[in-house]
Structures are given as structure tokens and as C-alpha cells.
Amino acid sequence: MSALGGGEFKIVFTGPMGAGKTSAIAAVSEVTPVATEVANSDLISHTKASTTVGLDFGHITLADGQVVRLYGTPGQARFRFMWEILGRGAAGVIVLLDATQPGALVQMDLFVDAFLPLVPPGAIVIGLGRTTLPGALGSDAFAARLDARGLLVPVFSIDARQPRDVFLLVRTLACILEAQALPEVAA
């Protein structure tokens, strides 16, 4: 990790319960992710059988041996204290949402507001799952809501189980970071 001055390069996957954070990390991590799932006791929020209560962890190794660490947060607001612990020092955040969930737009606001202060300017990408199902909101609705707040954030329709889609999110984040880091030419 010498290139990063002894620090770590960390990308955080966040979003509400059932949005696909654990699946997304499993889709792109080179190792079986470390997960802290327990039986879901909040069946009102989501009917899935298990849910993350601590964190998910996976990694991607680059050609020169350097490592990108992938952390997944718990989705439930009662574990919000974990969001700041995991988000602090992150290179960027990927917010995953379920487009069929009632209140998905409000959920997006909640997670964007929580992580925006923790990451570099603009280092946020939204992955929207289940957009092709009946009743789902399209990505335009989410982009418009962000635009109304003055935020220009990529919102992509994805399947969090598909490595190609998750790599698209991570690559977009890398492109944003790289574009921002390029030295400016004097105007």
C-alpha cells in the first residue's frame, strides 16, 4: 500500500436492506466475502431471510498487487453508527437501491446525505436494481431528484448479482476520481 501513503483504498457499498449490497460485493470480490448476516427480524422492511448487521468485506487485487477493499454497510437505520465508521476515509461510495420499494427516492436521500460528507466531492454512484419490474421507478426519477438538489450523480439501472453491472459502477467511480485528480490547465 505504499502508493497510498500507508492508507487503504476503500469503496463502500451502502443502501437499504434488500438492495443487493452483499450480492454486489460477492459478484466482484476475488475472495468469498466476509459477511455478518443474521436471520432477518425486520420482516416489515423487507421479507428476505437474512440481513447484514455488521459489515460485508471483499477485495479486488490490481496487477501490481495493490488492493481495493470493498465494504458493505448494514442497510437498517438502527445500525447507522456503522455507516460513519465504514464511510470515513472511503475513496467513494456506491449507493444501491431497489426501484420497486415504496419510498426508494427518500431512501436515496437518506444514504446520499449520510455519505456525501464522508467521501471526496462527487465520488458517489447510484445503482438502481429491479428497474424492469412492474411499479418500478425509472432512473430518470432518481436523477431528477438529485438534480433538484444540485447534485450531478450517475444513476445506473443494474442487476447487483451481475459482475458486469457492479464493475460498471466501480469503474464509473474510478473515472470520476481520475477526472477530478487530473491537473487543471490554466484558464
Partner 1 sequence: MQTLRICDIGLSIDASLAFHSMLKIVDGRSLASWQTSDAEHADVLLVQANSNPGALSAWTSSGRPAVLVIDDRASWPPAPFVLRYPFRVMQLLSLLDSVAEHLRSRSTRVASEGAAWAGAVSLRHLMAQTGERGWHIAHAGDRAFLWVGDAHAYALPATLQGLRTGTMALGAFSAAADPPPAAALRCALRDVAWYVGAHGPAELAPWLRPDTSYRLRGWPDFGRLGTAPHLIELAATAALRPHLPAELGERAGCAPADAYRFLAATSLAGLLTSFTRAEAIEHPHNVAPARGAWTRFVADLRRHLLRVA
Minimum separation from the CB atom of position 52 to partner 1 (A): 23
C-alpha cell at 60: 479486488
Query: Which residues 9-28 are close enough to bind partner 1 by CB under 8 A?
Result: 9
Query: Which residues 107-166 are close enough to bind partner 1 by CB under 8 A?
Result: 120-123, 127-128, 131, 139-140, 143, 147, 152-158, 163-165
Minimum separation from the CB atom of position 54 to partner 1 (A): 26
Residue number with CB closer to partner 1 (36 or 69): 69
Residue number with CB closer to partner 1 (18 or 154): 154
> Phi and psi dihedrals of 170, rounded to 5?
-65, -40
State how far the alpha carbon of 40 is from the alpha carbons of 25, 50, 51, 109, in Å. Answer: 19, 4, 5, 24
Q: CA angle at residue 33 from 73 to 115, to 5 degrees?
A: 20
Taking CB under 8 A as the criterion, the residue among 43, 66, 94, 100 binding partner 1 is 66
Q: CA angle at residue 20 from 100 to 7, to 5 degrees?
A: 135
Q: Binding to partner 1 by residue 100, rule CB under 8 A?
A: no
Residues that bind partner 1 (CB under 8 A): 2-5, 9, 60, 62-64, 66, 68, 91, 120-123, 127-128, 131, 139-140, 143, 147, 152-158, 163-165, 167-168, 170-172, 174-187
